[in-house]
Amino acid sequence: MKIIRQPQRMTAWSKEQAVAGGIIGFVPTMGFFHEGHLALMRRAGESADLVAVSLFVNPTQFGPHEDLSAYPRDFEQDCTLAKNVGVDVIFAPEAEDMYPAGFNSTVTVGEELTGQLCGASRPGHFAGVATVVSKLFNIVRPDLAVFGEKDFQQLAVIRKMTADLNLGVEIIGHPIVREKDGLAMSSRNTYLQEEERKSALSLSRSLAMAR
């Protein structure tokens, strides 16, 4: 498994694969992998010849009082896990490579999709996501990309942006991967105290009951 840090080198790798006829599947992530991430990587591998995974904790999608500096990270373990599920390349840029001095462009998707639910309490979050995902698509140049349905609003925003901007990437949604007791897997679950974790189960239980 290759580890690439520079955007230009990532694009060069992708161009080489495309010339050789390889279909590239892509999974954008912020790292600290769990079974949910690995399921997205396996899904990408089912439809592609090569799987690229980006590992980048994107500062522009965090609000000023959110958990950017505390966000869990374990690069070595992530590389081992990704390698074990057959990932071909990890793209792990530095923030300065993605947002060099003078960077001043933003991709925004209309309020109809971004102004409610999570977007209502996280102003600027989806602009940060749309901007970084469009940059990642331009750098990695995948044929398809897999996103989890856990972040359902994000998936809708990315589908809309990809269609509106003719980005030419097939977007595949993957069902939520849950712990045995029903909690949706998430890197941020490590923040939960025992009591909070218990009460979080009310979400999956209510959904199951409603269904």
Q: Please, what is the minimum distance in Å from the beta carbon of residue 158 to ligand PAF? A: 7
Active site residue 37: yes
**Which of 34, 37, 65, 125 is labelled catalytic?**
37
Q: What is the nearest approach in angstroms of ligand PAF to the Cβ of residue 141?
A: 17
Residues 184 and 207: their CA atoms lie apart, in Å, by: 12
Nearer to ligand PAF, 3 or 205 (CB): 3
Judged by beta carbon, residue 17 or residue 154, the one nearer ligand PAF is: 154
Three-class secondary structure assignment of the chain: CEEECCHHHHHHHHHHHHHCCCCEEEEEECCCCCHHHHHHHHHHHHHCCEEEEEECCCHHHCCCCCCCCCCCCCHHHHHHHHHHCCCCEEECCCHHHHCCCCCCCCCCCCHHHHCCCHHHHCCCHHHHHHHHHHHHHHHHCCCEEEEEHHHHHHHHHHHHHHHHCCCCCEEEEECCCECCCCCECCHHHHHCCHHHHHHHHHHHHHHHHHC
Nearer to ligand PAF, 21 or 100 (CB): 100
Return the biggest CA–CA distance within the chain.
53
Nearer to ligand PAF, 58 or 162 (CB): 58
Residue 132 Cβ vs ligand PAF, minimum distance, rounded to whole Å: 5
Closest listed residue to residue 58, CA positions, set 118, 129, 142: 129
Min dist. Cβ of residue 194 to ligand PAF (A): 25
- Chain contacts with ligand PAF (rule: CB under 6 A): 28-30, 58, 61, 129, 132-133, 151, 154
Is the Cβ of residue 20 or residue 52 nearer to ligand PAF in the bound state?
52
**Number of C-beta neighbours around residue 159 at 10 A:** 15
**Least Cβ distance, residue 148 to ligand PAF (angstroms):** 7
The catalytic site residues sit at 37
